[in-house]
Structure 1
Amino acid sequence: MKLAFDARCENGKASSFTRVLELWRHAADVVGLEYTNWHDGFCNADVLLSPNSNIAPIKGPVKIAALHDANPLQPQSSSWLRRVPAIHVLKKAARNLQLNADYVITGTHFSKKSIGLAFPVLGDKLHVIPHYPSSIFTPGEIDYDLLNQYSLPANSVLFVSALHKQKNWDGMLAAWSALPSELRLNHPLVFVDSKNKVPRKTKPGNLIFTRRIDDQVLLNLYRSAKLMVFPSFAEGFCLPPLEALCSGCPVIASETTSMPEVLGDSIDYFNPFEMSSIMTTLEKHVALPRPTIKHKSAWSAELTGSKLLDLINNI
């Protein structure tokens, strides 16, 4: 069957959807799955695969779309009232998938289960096709000149995510701020990809906010960091901590939603709803010598490509 990737998301700024599309293309290449990219107009493919729930309003191909999580419905620190807009968007997406998608992809078994519980009408359409870390993320030498070019320190504590309430960035900041002053001085906190959203009340002392950086810079930041912390309340897959592990960076993460499924038993987890849990785990790892991390990821382009191939061959 002829496959086309719905590439309309590339018409705008880079996003998590463009990232997923890049991963799918590479996975397809690895397993020899031929495809074209569809942006607009007539589509002569048998299957049109979209990296989001925005299904193309065209007739003809079998339509496969993605719903990556049901995070607005998961326990979080923000009230239900504040999450009403996000829940409305999620319900609208689910309704669209119910009416217009033949199949729905999600990245983890946790996400499949939570989406199925929230929207039983999608249950029979749901299939798990996992993401994977790009092959660029490997252990190796650190390019300090590159880090200096971006004014990025080594030996830092990393937070790699957008500054959304769901990501628990304020919990991360509070936990780091509670470290002894010597540890904070030796291990500055770096928020990656958040320069344009710096909170007004945030004090800048030994605290760094970066703009979007490319994978080569991020790789060297991972390799040089003391620790990567991923305190999110809810995730559909959680690529950043997986990238960090593959780059040889120690990771601690939340014990909630999909994180244990993706990251396995090779890291320490904490309860993101309990500040004492975050603080204790953070201080323990920052105070200890940096361990050598040799992480063999269970997620790969070959696995994702084979899952895509199986789904398409069984349509």
Structure 2
Amino acid sequence: MKYFINGRFLTQKTSGVQRFAREIVKALDKRLSSSGLRDEWVLLAPKGAALDLKLSSIVQRHVGHLSGHPWEQTELFASSRNGRLINLCNSGPVLHGKSLTVIHDAMIFRTPENFSPSYRLVHSTLGRVLARRGHIATVSEFSKRELAETIGAKNVSVIPNSCEHMASILPDEAVLQRLGLVAKGYVLFVGSPTPNKNILRAIEAIKLLGEKAPKFVVVGAAASAVFRADDVTPQNDRVVFTGRLSDEEIVTLYANAAALLFPSLYEGFGIPPLEAMFLGCPVLSSPIEPAREVCGDAALYFDPLDPADMARSIENLAATPDLQTEMIARGHARASEFSWDRSADALLKSVSGL
């Protein structure tokens, strides 16, 4: 049996979706190397993509001369049509009848106003067609229900994110001095500042704390071609917008933060809380379903529509050292329930039924 992996993600900047693809391919390669399976696995990428994954069982190969969606719909399809195709980043060739496509959330259908018109048109159409032509997977039970309700996706597989790859990232401590931060003197937000992230209310919560407020460090930049960004101009000197940072800098910020603040109104999974728990950073979160699915009892929850409740949550954690210690321990235990190896096993099970 021949299996092909859509390697278009190797041409894209690494955000949560591309990180999922990279890490699960590496975990899958490890599984294949130890299993002795004789199936043929090939990762196909557009010309010019950096084939930089260190793989031993999965062959990496350039095909075609196009890029982007035209490459997927024509050259990738032609090169993979005699086998099963795995698309890990929300899109793939609609003509391929034996494909598994991971659609990471239903945000394009639930909150279309968050996206640019061109992105909305392409991806909403792709999602609906792929759900009928092939098999759909997603990253959480919540998103599984959402995709069933919005595009009628049936028999959706769940292949969760993980974050243990962060253990191999060496911290870059210089970022603290560069940003004027001291350990445990700030709360952290990681993600693109789009409307569903609820950043404006988080800034208001910091403002309500007055002189007692920690700094609020916002890491990330919205992709203008995809999202409609909020007006998130800092309203006081407690707010620090960093833009995009390296993995080494982000690991440092997690490890030294008083807490991760996760005020989102809608998500498909909740990667920052999982990363924070793994790195020993307490999590303060809105109670949306995917956050509860990821964090369980390892987060302190607040009303995301009430900045005063958010502020109380920050203040309560800061004033209670025993609670901080308890939340860190719970977070470590919760994060250990996720792994790329288990996600790779779920992927193998899903594609075996195509």
TM-score (norm 1): 0.84
Matching residue of 1:35: 41
What is the one-letter code of the residue matched to 1:203?
Answer: Q
Report what 2:220 is aligned to. Answer: 193
- Bigger RCO of structures 1 and 2 (CA < 8 A, at least 6 apart): 1
1:277 Cα deviation (Å)? 2.7
Shift of 1:97: 1.4
2:129 is equivalent to residue 123 of structure 1: no
1:291: which partner in 2? 325
TM superposition shift of 1:55: 1.3
Residue 70 of structure 1 corresponds to 106
Deviation, 1:198, is: 9.0
Residue 267 of structure 2: SS of its match in structure 1?
Answer: coil
For 1:157 and 1:251, the matched residues in 2 are separated by: 10
Match of 1:277 in 2: 309
- The count of residues paired between Structure 1 and Structure 2 equals 303
Q: Is the 8 A contact 1:68 1:111 kept in 2?
A: yes
Q: Is the Cα–Cα contact under 8 Å of residues 139 and 161 in structure 2 kept in the other structure?
A: yes
For the residue of structure 1 that corresponds to 2:273, the secondary structure is helix
After TM superposition, the structure 1 stretch with the greater mean CA deviation from structure 2, 156-165 or 89-98, is: 89-98
Greater mean deviation of Cα atoms: 45-54 or 155-164: 45-54
Cα shift at 1:205: 0.6
Query: C-alpha separation between the residues in 2 aligned to 1:198 and 1:96?
Result: 30
Corresponding residue number in structure 1 for 2:37 = none
Cα deviation 1:235-287 (Å, max 9, x = unaligned): 11111110011000000111113110111112111221233332222221133
- Closer/same/farther in 2, CA of residues 237 and 195 from structure 1, 3 Å limit: closer
Partners of 1:188 and 1:300 lie apart in 2 by: 32
- CA separation of 1:31 and 1:82: change in aligned 2, threshold 3 A: closer
Q: Do the aligned partners of 1:108 and 1:130 also contact (CA within 8 Å) in 2?
A: yes
Cα RMSD of the aligned pairs, angstroms, is: 3.1
The answer on 1:53 being equivalent to 2:90 is yes
Q: Which residue of structure 1 aligns with residue 246 of structure 2?
A: 214
Correspondence for 2:255 among 223, 236, 242: 223
1:1-315 counterparts in 2 under 5 A? 1-32=1-32, 35-39=41-45, 40=63, 41=75, 42-44=78-80, 46-56=83-93, 62-71=98-107, 74=110, 91-100=124-133, 102-120=134-152, 122-124=153-155, 126-137=156-167, 144-145=173-174, 147-148=176-177, 152-155=181-184, 156-181=186-211, 183-184=212-213, 187-194=214-221, 199=231, 201-289=233-321, 290-291=324-325, 293-294=328-329, 295-296=332-333, 297=335, 298-315=337-354
Aligned amino acid, residue 27 of structure 1: A
Segments of 5+ residues of structure 2 without an aligned counterpart are 34-39, 46-62, 64-74, 224-228
Q: Is the 8 A contact 1:232 1:254 kept in 2?
A: yes
3-state SS, counterpart of residue 299 of structure 1: coil
Counterpart Cα distance in 2 of 1:200 and 1:240:
19
For residues 114 and 347 of structure 2, the distance between their equivalents in structure 1, rounded to whole angstroms, comes to 36
Q: Deviations over 1:85-136 (max 9, x none)?
A: 5876664233221343x1111011111112112222x223x11111111332
Identity %: 25
Separation (CA, whole Å) in 1 of partners of 2:178 and 2:199: 26
Q: What is the TM-score normalised by the length of structure 2?
A: 0.75
Does the 8 A contact of 1:23 with 1:131 survive in 2? Answer: no
CA distance in 2, matches of 1:83, 1:191: 21
Contact 1:70/1:90 (8 A) holds in 2:
no
**How many Å separate the matches in 1 of 2:252 and 2:163?**
15
Tell me the amino acid that sits aligned with residue 154 of structure 2: G
SS of corresponding position for 1:210 = strand
Whether contact under 8 Å (1:195, 1:210) holds in the other structure is: no
Q: Which moved more, 1:85-94 or 1:36-45?
A: 85-94
Q: Flag structure 1 segments of 5+ consecutive residues without an equivalent.
A: none
**DSSP 3-state at the match of 1:49:** strand
Contact 2:139–2:268 at 8 Å: present in 1 too? Answer: yes
SS in 2 for 1:154: coil
Q: Is the 8 A contact 1:198 1:209 kept in 2?
A: no
* Residue 227 to residue 55, structure 1, CA distance change in 2 (3 Å): same
